[in-house]
């Protein structure tokens, strides 16, 4: 075997499995319902779109490097201290910056088995070792995570709610996990889908960040606000963590149109409430209709559901995915999440949701 030429990547880089986003296209000639990326079916707020276009009049100018207007808008909306808010190019960038700031060779970072794939990428990219905790019923097992804590543990990632399973852990369980961590370990609470949760025992992480020095909560504008195309996120941090992120992030890491659209989006409360109402109506409807077909659906608190298919070849997730694509319905295969017999479906428009149930009915009936 010929020896590789050229520079070698840092340790850990070659072990990274490249992230593959959800597909956008179905079969040619049919109307496409893209349900693979957890995008909102309502689109972006008209006020956010207007602000985006207005910002386009000054593209020759650098954006505000500190994103003051956006941080102030977020702080006003949630009642937070803007000095503890750091904005980024999607929450993905913030997750990577956290790993860059606190992980290195010899360190370990914990996440759950079906956790967001970006955690593994961020850990390995900084030469650290990922430690994967088993789950119970597709839900993070706090006891298992605590059992994996060692002197080398420098970070714990917890997606709450979790993507792609849609499950969550209660605030009391989050606090129990935090209490078990050494002060030198950062707890990262990834709350990308927090706006959709309607559970009394859930808390996104704001309260814990306010009372601890080693906790950070990340959020995104990509989901309920419909700004996925602009890549915009934010983190609420302990002061020391905010200082670290501000030292290593790019000086203009958030562009001006994204800042303007983000301010308008978070202030358009009526539009956001409409998105929540739509999800509250169609999430339980889809679960009920799909379960009535004989398929298992994991209970979700996000804007997507996890559909489990039998292991039989005729009714497998891969066969279902191929059939749905011919009908114009694009879902997310989950083999890289260790869920080869499941598909993740975003909650779509009424048309998309009804079309999906009809297509699944046809698929299961045709192969009965």
Dihedral angle sign, alpha carbons of residues 34, 35, 41, 45:
negative
Domain that holds residue 288: 15-43+270-366
Are 146 and 229 in a shared domain? yes
Q: Are residues 56 and 113 in the same domain?
A: yes
pTM score > 0.95 for this model? no
Buried b (16+ CB within 10 A) or exposed e, 203-235: bbbbebbeebebbbbbbbbbbbbbbbebbbbbb
Asked, for residue 1, whether it belongs to a domain, the answer is no
Same domain, 247 and 303: no
pLDDT tens column, 59-86: 999 999 999 999 999 999 999 999 999 9
Q: What is the mean pLDDT of the chain?
A: 95
Using the predicted structure, report yes or no on whether residue 172 has a pLDDT greater than 90.
yes
Question: Which of 246, 193, 189 lies closest to 221, judged by CA?
Answer: 193
Q: Are residues 300 and 353 in the same domain?
A: yes
Average pLDDT value for residue range 330-339:
95
* 259 shares its domain with 284: no
Tokens standing for residue 49? 């779109």
Strand pairing category for 129-133 and 108-112: parallel
Task: Assign 195 to helix, strand or coil.
Answer: helix
**204 in the same domain as 307:** no
Domain of 327: which CATH number? 3.90.1150.10
72 Cβ neighbours under 8 A, 6+ residues apart: 82
Q: What average pLDDT score do residues 165-181 get?
A: 98
Whether residue 149 sits in one domain with residue 278: no
């Amino acid at each position: 075997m010929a020896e590789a030429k050229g520079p070698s990547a840092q340790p850990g880089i070659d072990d990274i499995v490249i992230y593959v986003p959800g597909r956008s296209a179905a079969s040619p000639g049919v109307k496409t319902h893209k349900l693979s990326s957890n995008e909102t079916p309502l689109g972006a707020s008209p006020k956010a779109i207007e602000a985006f276009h207005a910002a386009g009049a000054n593209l020759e100018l650098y954006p505000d490097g500190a994103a003051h207007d956006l941080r102030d808008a977020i702080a006003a909306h949630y009642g937070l201290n803007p000095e503890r808010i750091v904005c980024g190019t999607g929450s993905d960038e913030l997750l990577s910056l956290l790993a860059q700031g606190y992980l290195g060779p010899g360190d370990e970072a914990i996440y759950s088995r079906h956790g967001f794939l970006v955690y593994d990428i961020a850990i390995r990219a900084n030469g650290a070792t990922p430690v994967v905790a088993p789950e119970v019923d597709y839900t993070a097992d706090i006891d298992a995570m605590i059992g994996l804590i060692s002197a080398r543990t420098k970070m714990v990632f917890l997606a709450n709610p979790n993507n792609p399973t849609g499950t969550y852990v209660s605030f009391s369980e989050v606090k129990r996990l935090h209490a078990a961590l050494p002060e030198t370990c950062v707890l990262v609470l990834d709350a990308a889908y927090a706006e959709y949760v309607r559970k009394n025992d859930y808390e996104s992480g704001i309260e814990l960040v306010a009372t601890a020095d080693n906790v950070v909560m990340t959020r995104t504008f990509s989901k309920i606000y419909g700004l996925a195309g602009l890549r915009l996120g934010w983190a609420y941090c302990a002061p020391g963590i905010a200082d670290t992120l501000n030292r290593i992030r790019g000086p203009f890491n958030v562009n001006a149109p994204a800042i303007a659209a983000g301010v308008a989006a978070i202030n358009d409360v009526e539009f956001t409430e409409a998105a929540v109402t739509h999800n509250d109506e169609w999430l339980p409807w889809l679960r009920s209709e799909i379960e009535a077909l004989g398929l298992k659906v994991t209970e979700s608190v996000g804007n997507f559901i996890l559909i489990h298919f039998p292991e039989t070849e005729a009714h497998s997730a891969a066969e279902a995915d191929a059939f749905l694509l011919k009908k114009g319905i694009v879902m997310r295969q989950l083999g890289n999440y260790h869920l080869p017999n499941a598909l993740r479906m975003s909650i779509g428009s009424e048309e998309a949701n009804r079309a999906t149930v009809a297509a699944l009915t046809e698929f299961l009936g045709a192969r009965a």
